[in-house]
C-alpha cells in the first residue's frame, strides 16, 4: 500500500509528455500590418486670417473649412487672407479679400470682392466669405495631399439671369435710412437715460457721392448726493450734415461740406459751417482698401449763435475758417497704420487755431509678437464758444459744459505675445452660453 503514490507519480511522468505530444497543432495567426497614420491634415495649407470686421466668424470658418489649418501667426503660414471692408452706397458692405502667398508661395497673390446687402443676416455674410475664402485657397490646396478629397461644385441658376444693362433702379442709387435707439440703466442713487436717432439719404456712384444726414441726441444723468439733494445733468445735441463730392480722376476729388449743430455742451444754439474742399490722393483711389495718402483742404465760413454770452462777450459771430488734413492709411501683411496731421484756423485772427496729430498702428513685428500703439495730441486755441462765468464742482465733474484748455490728448498702448501650438483649427462651443458669469 505505501508504494501506490510512488507508482502513480511515475505513471503520470510517463503519460504527461505523450499527452502533450498528442495535442493538435493550432495554426499561427498572421501578423496584422501596421496602418500608417494619416498625415494629410498636417500637410494641409496653413492659413492666417486677418479680418477686423465684426462679421468675420472665426469659429465658423474653422468648422466649415477643415481642409485647411488656420494658424495663429502670419510668419508660419502658407497663405495670408487679408480682408478689408468698406460701406457701399446702398448701406451694405464691400469686402475685398486678398490671398497673399507666404513662405514658399511668396510672390503669388489673388484678390476677390464680395458684396453684401445692408439687410443680409450674419449667417449669409459668413457663408459668402467662407465660399470666397475656399475659392481663393483652392489652388494652394490642390498641391497638398488633401487634393484627392476636395471637390468643386457649381449651383446652376434656376432662372435666367438678368443682363446688367437691363437692370433698372427705381431709386436711382438713393438709399434712405432711419434709426431710433434708446438706452437706460440705473440703481438706487443714480440713473442714466440716453436716446439717439438719425435719418440719412445717400447716393453713391463712381463719379459722384452725396451724403445727407440729420441726428438728434439726448443724455440725462441723475445722482442722489450725500446731503439728500439730487443733481441732474441733461445734454442735448442735434444737427445735420451734407456732403457733395465729384470725382476728378484717379487721384483728385472736389466737393463741398456743410454742417449745422445745436449743443448744450459747447454752448451752440447754432453752429453753421459751409466749406468747399479739395482732396488729393497720392495713390489711385482704387487701392483704398490697402493704402491711401491724402491731403484734404477746405476753406469757408462759420456762423455761430450762442446760448449764453461767451468769454469774448459775444452772442453771435461769423468768421472765415480753413483747415488742412494729411492722412496716411495702410493695411499690409505686417499690420496696419492710420496716421493724420491736422490743423485749422479762423482767418480773421490766425492766432485762433488748433493743430495736432493722431494715429494708430498695429504691428506684427516677430513670430507671435504684436504691438499696438495709438493716440492723439492737439494744441487748442480756438474755443470761441466758451461760456462766461464759473462752474460748480458738480458741473465740472459731470462734464456739463466745455472747459477752457490749451491741449487735449489720448494714449493707448498694448502688446501681446502668443506661443505654443501654431494650429487653431479646433472649435469647441461648450460653456459658451454661461452669459455674463465670470470665473
For 37-54, how does the pLDDT look when each residue is reduced to its tens digit (9 = 90+)?
Answer: 555 577 889 999 998 888
The pTM assigned to this predicted structure is: 0.70
- pLDDT per residue over 270-286, tens digit each? 999 999 999 999 999 88
- The grid coordinates of residue 190 equal 443714480
Beta strands (DSSP E) in 145-229 are 174-187, 190-204, 208-224
Query: Whose CA is closest to 331, among 151, 112, 83?
Result: 83
Q: Where does the pLDDT of residue 12 fall: very low under 50, low under 70, confident under 90, or very high at 90 and above?
A: very low
> What separation, in Å, do the N-terminal and C-terminal C-alpha atoms of the chain show?
85
State the Cα–Cα distance between residues 249 and 271, nearest whole angstrom: 33
Query: Whose CA is closest to 401, among 272, 264, 285?
Result: 264
- pLDDT per residue over 325-375, tens digit each? 999 998 777 788 999 999 999 999 999 999 999 999 988 777 778 898 999
Pairing outcome for strands 208-224 and 291-306: unpaired
- The grid coordinates of residue 338 equal 492710420
Q: Is the pLDDT of residue 161 over 90?
A: no
Looking at per-residue confidence, does 19 or 419 come out higher?
419
Domains of the chain: 45-145 (3.30.160), 248-417 (no CATH)
Q: Is the pLDDT of residue 23 over 70?
A: no
**CB within 8 Å of 219: residues ≥ 6 apart:** 192, 193, 194, 195, 233, 234, 235, 236
Q: What is the structure's pLDDT at 437?
A: 54
Looking at per-residue confidence, does 419 or 125 come out higher?
125
**CB within 8 Å of 421: residues ≥ 6 apart:** none
Q: Where does the pLDDT of residue 87 fall: very low under 50, low under 70, confident under 90, or very high at 90 and above?
A: confident
Q: Is the pLDDT of residue 60 over 50?
A: yes
- pLDDT per residue over 185-218, tens digit each? 999 999 999 999 999 999 988 899 999 999 999 9
Number of H helices, E strands in the chain: 4, 17
- Return mean pLDDT, the chain: 85
Alpha helices, DSSP H only, in 219-368? none
Amino acid at each position: 500500500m505505501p508504494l501506490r503514490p510512488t507508482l502513480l507519480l511515475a505513471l503520470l511522468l510517463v503519460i504527461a509528455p505523450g499527452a502533450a505530444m498528442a495535442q493538435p497543432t493550432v495554426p499561427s495567426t498572421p501578423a496584422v500590418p501596421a496602418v500608417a497614420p494619416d498625415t494629410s491634415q498636417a500637410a494641409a495649407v496653413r492659413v492666417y486670417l486677418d479680418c477686423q470686421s465684426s462679421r468675420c466668424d472665426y469659429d465658423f470658418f474653422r468648422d466649415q473649412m477643415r481642409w485647411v489649418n488656420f494658424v495663429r501667426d502670419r510668419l508660419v503660414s502658407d497663405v495670408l487672407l487679408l480682408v478689408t471692408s468698406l460701406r457701399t452706397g446702398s448701406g451694405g458692405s464691400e469686402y475685398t479679400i486678398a490671398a497673399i502667398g507666404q513662405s514658399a508661395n511668396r510672390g503669388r497673390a489673388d484678390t476677390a470682392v464680395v458684396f453684401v446687402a445692408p439687410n443680409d443676416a450674419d449667417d449669409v455674410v459668413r457663408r459668402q466669405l467662407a465660399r470666397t475664402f475656399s475659392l481663393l485657397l483652392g489652388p494652394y490646396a490642390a498641391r497638398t495631399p488633401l487634393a484627392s478629397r476636395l471637390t468643386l461644385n457649381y449651383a446652376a441658376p434656376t432662372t435666367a439671369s438678368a443682363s446688367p444693362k437691363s437692370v433698372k433702379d427705381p431709386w436711382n442709387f438713393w438709399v434712405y435710412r432711419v434709426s431710433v435707439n434708446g438706452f437706460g440703466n440705473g440703481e438706487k442713487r443714480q440713473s442714466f437715460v440716453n436716446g439717439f436717432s438719425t435719418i440719412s439719404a445717400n447716393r453713391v456712384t463712381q463719379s459722384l457721392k452725396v451724403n445727407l444726414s440729420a441726428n438728434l441726441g439726448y443724455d440725462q444723468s441723475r445722482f442722489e448726493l450725500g446731503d439728500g439733494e439730487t443733481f441732474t445733468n441733461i445734454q442735448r445735441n442735434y444737427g445735420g450734415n451734407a456732403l457733395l463730392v465729384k470725382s476728378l480722376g484717379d487721384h483728385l476729388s472736389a466737393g463741398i461740406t456743410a454742417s449745422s449743430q445745436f449743443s448744450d455742451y459747447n454752448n451752440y444754439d447754432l453752429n453753421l459751417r459751409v466749406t468747399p474742399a479739395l482732396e488729393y490722393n497720392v495713390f489711385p483711389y482704387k487701392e483704398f482698401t490697402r493704402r491711401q495718402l491724402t491731403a484734404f483742404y477746405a476753406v469757408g465760413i462759420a456762423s455761430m449763435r450762442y446760448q449764453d454770452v461767451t468769454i469774448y462777450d459775444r452772442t453771435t459771430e461769423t468768421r472765415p475758417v480753413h483747415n488742412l488734413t494729411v492722412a496716411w492709411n495702410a493695411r499690409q501683411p505686417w499690420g496696419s497704420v492710420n496716421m493724420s496731421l491736422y490743423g485749422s484756423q479762423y482767418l480773421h485772427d490766425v492766432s485762433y487755431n488748433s493743430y495736432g496729430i493722431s494715429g494708430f498702428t498695429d504691428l506684427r513685428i516677430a513670430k507671435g509678437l504684436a504691438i499696438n500703439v495709438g493716440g492723439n495730441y492737439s494744441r487748442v486755441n480756438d474755443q470761441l464758444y466758451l461760456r462766461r462765468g464759473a462752474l460748480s464742482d458738480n458741473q465740472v465733474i459731470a462734464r456739463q459744459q466745455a472747459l477752457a484748455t490749451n491741449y487735449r490728448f489720448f494714449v493707448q498702448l498694448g502688446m501681446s505675445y502668443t506661443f505654443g501650438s501654431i494650429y487653431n483649427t479646433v472649435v469647441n462651443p461648450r460653456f459658451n452660453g454661461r452669459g455674463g458669469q465670470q470665473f
